[in-house]
A and B are shown apart, each in its own frame.
Chain A
Amino acid sequence: MKIISLDTSGLVCTVAVTEDDRLLSEFSIQHKITHSELLLPMMEQIKERLSLDLNTVDAIAVSAGPGSFTGLRIGVATAKGLCLALNKPLIAVPTLDALAYNLYGNENIICPMMDARRSQVYTGIYTFVPEKESEDQHEVFYKMKTLMPQAAMSVAEIADRLNKIGKRAVLLGDGIPVYRDKLDDLLKVDYILAPPLANRQRAAALSVLAAEYFRKGKLADTDSFAPEYLRASQAEREAKEKKARTVKIREMSAEDITESAALEAASLGKEAWTEKQLLEACTRDDTVYIVAEKAGRVAGLCGVRNISGEGDVTNVSVSAELRNTGIGYMMLTELLKKAEGIGCRDFTLEVREQNQPARKLYEKLGFVNEGIRPNFYDDPDDNAVIYWKRNTND
């Protein structure tokens, strides 16, 4: 199986051709010249030196992101063009996975970091686990295990995660020189800096992973594929913030009950509370109820009830058109703050296992998954995930 692989996601422009277990060519340049001017001339060189008939290639592999927005597009547009012209499949490998694969066989914690500006990095956490096909064999294979899939986060957060794992880590990627001092301050675990032969994107590593993808049939759509940027454009981020700013977060009053009940009914269906239940709940002394008001209408609500120091969070809903605009986060932050005022120390809630957006929101707020209540919900059937946010030390 012959694969042409390319990666222009970072500072290095790198191209490789692999065939089964042979690396036929690898060409990397890390210099000032732009990837747009380098990539195709490098491929031309490789093609000429290998006398490569492009029609004998089985697939084109590309770094799928994250990375420099423009860099990613140069790579992806080139790969898509090659696939279209040669009528070959496209393999898209997450950038950080491929970067971690540079350290094949390393049983330490592997943490690649790419500079994402604004004190953030694109990062992930990996390790290699030895495996044997059977006990009486001596040949060992390494399997790359993803401990944290690639994401954009602050340097402080990734350092915190590495500290929690508590094992020696190998650091690599173009984010390391940028945040070296900061990392040295923050890390409480021993760390190793990968040497230059492995500390930047290498198309050969991408190609080996790509071959694995190919064997498993994990192919990308050559027409619709777009890079994974892990970050919205600045204009979109600003528009979202502006939208969130026009929302007023305040305590629920009796006048909000009708609209709140309607909102609950629309978003929770038969699990929704009635007006009477809501009115009773929000007028008690041991509860706090918060609404998000937009353009004079109730656009979201949530509540908490204090049960001997434990805050039971209920009735979280946001109107459909305002989901994923940060309203949930704003409401809940305010709710937890106010709840502490009535004596809640720890918080708990239940959510449908399938409700990924809500679960992501709770996790962002510091809630931890502590268990499952099987088949708790019906229509459709679903488990309940029990979340806790504990502020007291047991």
Chain B
Amino acid sequence: MDNNHENIKRRTDEDGVIFMSIKNEQTEALQESKDEDINILAIESSCDETAAAVVRNGREVLSNIISSQIALHTVYGGVVPEIASRKHVEKINVCVRAALSEAGLSLDDIDAIAVTYGPGLVGALLVGVSEAKALSFATGKPLVGVHHIEGHICANYIEYKELEPPFMCLVASGGHSHLVYVKDYGEYDIIGQTRDDAAGEAFDKVARAIGLGYPGGPKVDKAAREGNPDAIAFPRAKTSEKSYDFSFSGLKSAVLNYLNQAEMKGEEINKNDVAASFQKAVVDVLTEHTMEAAEEYNCKKVAIAGGVASNTALRERLEAECEKRGMTFYRPAPVLCTDNAAMIGAAGYYEYLKGNRAGMDLNAVPNLPLGDRERRYHGRSSN
């Protein structure tokens, strides 16, 4: 079912950082540039990937460069902010230069510079923000600040040229779980969000508890394929009858309790069954809320975004549920679900069209709320 048509050029640097240049069929068959085209140079550095991309008219990816540090953080069992920030500053120019050259463009051909300024790790965000501001200052090209989650949602515009708002979008990643009603380009209503752990966080914690290691998402996904999803009855947390909010910390505790009890009784645990049963509990809740929300808002279109959107069980389940209800299901290719700059270029394009511009005082805002225009360009963070 997956649209895995990318062609990824990959090399590992001496410091263990993986450098990727992602091309897809569409990039290969690009048309000549026209004067009215809007080319956005986008930069993303909110967590542990340094990324730069050039996106034309919000939907065509001319280049998509990701420098992934995941191997450096694996030994620590999670992302170490200081290490991530140090790598960003080392890799940022390499990524920007590669994005321009792969796109076959120079900075003169760029119409605006878009950058993620929140939410995320403040030290990490600041590297991308500082670079983008310097590029904007030196070239006189306008600067556009982009919300990281809005970027994830806009990955769908890249994958599906025909997709237009409104639609319902489930955003699930290591740091976020949101149910977002996309009213129009750049207009988002959060109708549900996590009250405690993000979905991806729960995956990481459970993966660590059953000894699968970091990163938890893909490892649980893989183990679950070998396990029985109905082996253990983990709870499905309902925050209240009317709310679309999520809560995953209860589920995480239930898994930890189960493991403790098994250990005390001296019972052998089946890791694959635990992974499959846990994953099913997460998928059930995410799917149920998304479907109820789509029905209530009368959406015929349902999309997913964020790192957890690569989870195969979630993709299959949502696909099936949408089909049952006659809805169209949109899911970006896994490479567009991870943190990347192409999605920031897509979101930045629509911000650019609306005339939103950031000033040279743009700061990183680690807890930037989704769709909050007031704070957008006047956020404060500590550094």
Asked if A239 contacts B82 (CB within 8 A), the reply is no
Q: In the bound complex, how far is the Cα of B80 from the Cα of A155, in angstroms?
A: 29
Asked if B123 contacts A78 (CB within 8 A), the reply is no
Q: In the bound complex, how far is the Cα of B86 from the Cα of A226, in angstroms?
A: 8
- Chain B residues 12-51 with CB under 8 Å of chain A are none
- Chain B residues 103-123 with CB under 8 Å of chain A are 107, 122-123
Q: Out of B92, B107, B383, name the residue touching A80 (CB < 8 Å).
A: B92
Q: In the bound complex, how far is the Cα of B122 from the Cα of A223, in angstroms?
A: 22
**Residues of chain B with a CB closer than 8 A to A223's CB:** 93-94, 97
Asked if A69 contacts B82 (CB within 8 A), the reply is yes
Q: In the bound complex, how far is the Cα of B122 from the Cα of A158, in angstroms?
A: 33
Chain B, interface residues (CB within 8 Å), range: 35 or more
Least distance between A234 CB and chain B CB atoms (Å): 7
Q: Mark B117-137, 1 if CB is under 8 A from A, else 0.
A: 000001100111111111101
Q: Mark A27-58, 1 if CB is under 8 A from B, else 0.
A: 00000001111111101100100000010000
Asked if B133 contacts A81 (CB within 8 A), the reply is yes
Asked if A73 contacts B85 (CB within 8 A), the reply is yes
Q: Mark B64-101, 1 if CB is under 8 A from A, else 0.
A: 00000000000110001011011011101110110000
**Residues of chain A with a CB closer than 8 A to B135's CB:** 81, 84-85
The reply to whether the CB of B138 lies closer than 8 angstroms to some CB of chain A is yes
Q: Are A70 and B383 also in contact (CB < 8 A) when A41-B361, A82-B134 are?
A: yes
- Chain B: which residue is nearest A36 at the CB level? B363
Asked if B123 contacts A69 (CB within 8 A), the reply is yes
Q: Mark A228-254, 1 if CB is under 8 A from B, else 0.
A: 010001111001000000000000000
**Residues of chain A with a CB closer than 8 A to B96's CB:** 81, 84
- Chain A: which residue is nearest B143 at the CB level? A40
Q: Are A81 and B138 also in contact (CB < 8 A) when A73-B85, A73-B123 are?
A: yes
**Residues of chain A with a CB closer than 8 A to B94's CB:** 223-224
Asked if B380 contacts A69 (CB within 8 A), the reply is no
Please report the total number of A residues contacting B with Cβ < 8 Å: 41
Asked if A77 contacts B360 (CB within 8 A), the reply is no
Q: Are A79 and B134 also in contact (CB < 8 A) when A84-B93, A233-B86 are?
A: yes
**Residues of chain B with a CB closer than 8 A to A35's CB:** 383
Asked if A86 contacts B82 (CB within 8 A), the reply is no
The reply to whether the CB of A112 lies closer than 8 angstroms to some CB of chain B is no
Q: Out of A36, A40, A82, A239, name the residue touching B126 (CB < 8 Å).
A: A36
Q: In the bound complex, how far is the Cα of B122 from the Cα of A217, in angstroms?
A: 35
**Residues of chain A with a CB closer than 8 A to B89's CB:** 73, 76-77, 80, 226-227
Q: Out of A76, A79, A81, A235, name the residue touching B76 (CB < 8 Å).
A: A235
Asked if B123 contacts A81 (CB within 8 A), the reply is no
- Chain A: which residue is nearest B378 at the CB level? A37
Asked if A78 contacts B131 (CB within 8 A), the reply is yes
Q: In the bound complex, how far is the Cα of B247 from the Cα of A166, in angstroms?
A: 65
The reply to whether the CB of B381 lies closer than 8 angstroms to some CB of chain A is yes
Asked if A233 contacts B129 (CB within 8 A), the reply is no
The reply to whether the CB of B139 lies closer than 8 angstroms to some CB of chain A is yes
**Residues of chain A with a CB closer than 8 A to B132's CB:** 81
Interface centre among A54, A70, A82, A227 (most CB of B within 10 A): A70
Interface centre among B80, B86, B364, B380 (most CB of A within 10 A): B86
Asked if A81 contacts B86 (CB within 8 A), the reply is no
Least distance between A152 CB and chain B CB atoms (Å): 15
The reply to whether the CB of B382 lies closer than 8 angstroms to some CB of chain A is yes
Q: In the bound complex, how far is the Cα of B76 from the Cα of A236, in angstroms?
A: 9
Interface residues of B (CB under 8 A from A): 75-76, 80, 82-83, 85-86, 88-90, 92-94, 96-97, 107, 122-123, 126-135, 137-139, 359-361, 363-364, 380-383
Q: Which 4 residue pairs are nearest across A and B when measured between Cβ atoms?
A: A81-B134, A85-B138, A233-B82, A77-B130
Interface residues of A (CB under 8 A from B): 34-41, 43-44, 47, 54, 68-71, 73-74, 76-86, 222-227, 229, 233-236, 239
